[in-house]
Amino acid sequence: MIETRYRPAWRVALGCALFGSALSAAANTVSGPNQTSATLSIQNDWGSGYCASVSVDNSGSAALTGWQVTLHTNNSDINNLWNGQLNGNSVTNMDYNGHVSAGSNTSFGFCATANGSEAYLPELVALQVDGGAASSSSSSSSSVSSASSVSSSSESSSSSVSSSSVSSSSSSSSSSSSAGGDMIPNATSSGWPYCRSSDSDPDGDGWGWENSHSCIVYGSQPDPGPGDFPYCQIGAEEITLCATDNGSWGSEDGGVCLSRSMCPGMGTNDQSAMRDLPVNPDASASAVAVYDYLQSIWGSYMLSGQMDQTWQDAIDQTQRVINDTGRAPAMMGYDFMNYGLYWNGISGLTQTEEAIEYWNQGGLVSFTWHWRDPKAAEGVIGEFYTEDTDFVIPVVNGELDTASESFANIEADVDMIAAELQRLEDAGVPVLWRPLHEASGGWFWWGRTDRADDVPAAYAQVVLWRYLYERLTNHYGLDNLIWVWNGQGGAWYPGDEYVDIVSHDIYDGQQNYESQIDVYELTAAYPHEVKMVALSENSNIPDPDQMAADGAWWLWFMVWNDGDTAEGVTSSSNFWTGEYFNTNAHKSHVYNHEWVITLDELPDFP
């Protein structure tokens, strides 16, 4: 996250993740001809953007053959839209949802970024339809009015931060099983992928959104039944299945392929036992001690965690936690986001020192890396969101293209971060290391899906992850790293030998303290061997009592940081301070719970 982090808007079930509690905005309805209407509902409003759904209802006596909804987006720009086609300020139906039977409805949804702090929520202006007929008991009316042109952009689904609200939610909130416990197949007979979870379909019309692509909910009205194809359907990609199943990605006949056991809907839930030691056979004594401790508490306790305010050094997130609960978090999260930006006035360049200090106080530390555009020019602040950079992971012949300029840029950045990780190792600090986070969402360049070649986005990320592991572990000999994978989609999993812990990020409405058992179970099911499961970013903290009741034993939670406000201000940009997400009573309940470990309860590590 950075100064303004746009987060998922739909509810995340097992499978960043989505969230679905409608917030304070009232619904907006317009009438169309032949007893039709459209109703807009705000699904999530986080202060600097929103996600909304629009239902098109046909109360007439004959089917519609098409529809068009005119929007006024006010001071916001649409950056992701599903189940419709955006043209200017109008949304028209897709081929599959233009037919709306009498007495039925369809829907579309979108997310947008606010251009200011006032009047940015959208409004419906008009509804036009093709076909339909009013019932004999009602007269036909139409309220198609002219609307001033509103400029809005419709970007690819892989490109937005707010698109995270859809993709991330779908990828993170997915489940491989149907309500009856049977495995959900890979794709429908019509070629659409099945949603891994019905939570990907917040409006309940049977159409969802995962992996930057529409999907069909298993057993829903639009489901034509399972298909049988010689490939794995992930999003819009038809990925070749490997002839030999190696449990991951492979290369055969000069092309990339995916093992059947890794294809959603084709694998099994069989897992081997959890290994006793970290995946790095040369892990340091302190890293082994931390890993062993984490294994000993998993399933019985949850570590408390708080993300540091990376981009504003003046804000002390640890102290804010203490002020509200009387206790300090067991773990602090840090970010290498601004490393490489070496000029006066930049915050976030003392994360290494802060992590060493917290370890010396007896705490655990984790690091993520909002990896800025590797090819950004000297003196330029590179971007990490897909929509703001054209950087692509260079892959040729199934491997990183080590002869490319892009690879040279990647390697320079990795070498820079390796130096910081080395400082941490020299200080005896083991690091819960979470690179390439939220990849399957597509909003960061390491997960972009709009590649010009035939390389699957998931495979490109897997190749980069494995390179990071080899470079940091074998080339630099960094033995203090415990590898935390946060890709949030099964096909993005790099393999059991490269991962110690699996995790998911969840931003799910306001003051929602459910256990998130569905997301937990899906995340736990990604590996082929049992791995510990962590909640690596969150807004709301799951209630420990509900977590225990459901068996959703998140290894830790990590509340995201606050915006640049005074302490105690309730705001959607403040994930800890104030009471927008977690009330003061809930914070105290969690931090003083017998099943939640705080700083003072950690053992001494070597």
Question: Largest alpha-carbon pair distance within the chain?
Answer: 82
Structure tokens at 40: 């807009």
414 pLDDT above the threshold of 60: yes
Chain segment 232-250, per-residue pLDDT in tens: 998 888 999 999 988 889 8
169 pLDDT above the threshold of 60: no
CA distance 70 to 33: 14
CA distance 30 to 67: 13
115 pLDDT above the threshold of 60: yes
Position 27 scores a pLDDT of 61
Position 42 scores a pLDDT of 87
Mean pLDDT over 167-179 rounds to 35
Structure tokens at 588: 């105290």
Q: Which residue has the tokens 């600097």?
A: 48
Band of pLDDT at residue 12, cut at 50, 70 and 90: very low
Mean pLDDT over 80-103 rounds to 85
Q: Where are the beta strands (DSSP E) in 154-230?
A: 207-210, 213-216
355 pLDDT above the threshold of 80: yes
Band of pLDDT at residue 135, cut at 50, 70 and 90: low
pLDDT above 90 covers a percentage of the chain that reads 65
- Structural element, H or E, at residue 425: helix 405-426
Does 13 or 574 have the greater pLDDT score? Answer: 574
Q: Where are the beta strands (DSSP E) in 253-410?
A: 255-258, 302-303, 305-307, 331-335, 364-368, 395-396, 399-400
Structure tokens at 329: 């978090």
Position 109 scores a pLDDT of 85
Active site residues: 438, 537
Structure tokens at 259: 């093992």
Position 108 scores a pLDDT of 87
Please name the residues in contact with 430: beta carbons below 8 A apart, sequence gap of 6 or more. 284, 286, 287, 289, 290, 364, 365, 480, 481, 482, 605
18 pLDDT above the threshold of 70: no
Position 162 scores a pLDDT of 29
Band of pLDDT at residue 159, cut at 50, 70 and 90: very low
Mean pLDDT over 494-517 rounds to 95
Band of pLDDT at residue 410, cut at 50, 70 and 90: very high
Mean pLDDT over 582-589 rounds to 98
Mean pLDDT over 95-111 rounds to 83
Position 137 scores a pLDDT of 38
90 pLDDT above the threshold of 80: yes
581 pLDDT above the threshold of 70: yes
- Phi and psi angles of residue 91, each rounded to the nearest 5 degrees, phi first: -120, 125
In the chain, DSSP finds a helix count (H) and a strand count (E) of 9, 26
CA distances to 1, 79, 440, 449 from 443, rounded to whole Å, are 12, 11, 8, 9
The closest alpha carbon to 479, from 424, 404, 520, 532, belongs to: 424
Average per-residue pLDDT in the chain? 85
DSSP characters over 48-103: SEEEEEEEEEE-SSEEEEEEEEEEE--SEEEEEEESSEEETTEEE--TTTS-B-TT
Position 98 scores a pLDDT of 85
CA distance 22 to 42: 6
CA distance 569 to 579: 8
Chain segment 136-147, per-residue pLDDT in tens: 433 333 332 222
> Among 110-119, 275-284, 385-394, 535-544, whose mean pLDDT is lowest?
110-119
Mean pLDDT over 585-596 rounds to 98
Structure tokens at 434: 């979470």
The closest alpha carbon to 11, from 562, 551, 517, belongs to: 517
463 pLDDT above the threshold of 90: yes
Mean pLDDT over 122-139 rounds to 76
Does 8 or 454 have the greater pLDDT score? Answer: 454
pLDDT above 70 covers a percentage of the chain that reads 87
Q: Are 80 and 157 in contact (CB under 8 A)?
A: yes
Position 335 scores a pLDDT of 98
9 pLDDT above the threshold of 70: no
77 pLDDT above the threshold of 60: yes
Position 569 scores a pLDDT of 96
Instruction: Find the helix packing angle between 405-426 and 457-469, rounded to 10°.
Output: 40
Mean pLDDT over 376-398 rounds to 93
152 pLDDT above the threshold of 60: no
Does 51 or 229 have the greater pLDDT score? Answer: 229
Mean pLDDT over 45-56 rounds to 84
- Structural element, H or E, at residue 420: helix 405-426
CA distances to 412, 416, 419, 422, 429 from 476, rounded to whole Å, are 13, 12, 9, 8, 16
Specify which of 107-116, 440-449, 579-588 reaches the highest per-range mean pLDDT: 579-588
CA distance 232 to 249: 12
Position 198 scores a pLDDT of 67
Band of pLDDT at residue 84, cut at 50, 70 and 90: confident
Position 567 scores a pLDDT of 97
Position 191 scores a pLDDT of 93
Position 28 scores a pLDDT of 86
Position 124 scores a pLDDT of 93
Query: Apex CA 559: angle with CA 554 and CA 565, to 5°?
Result: 175
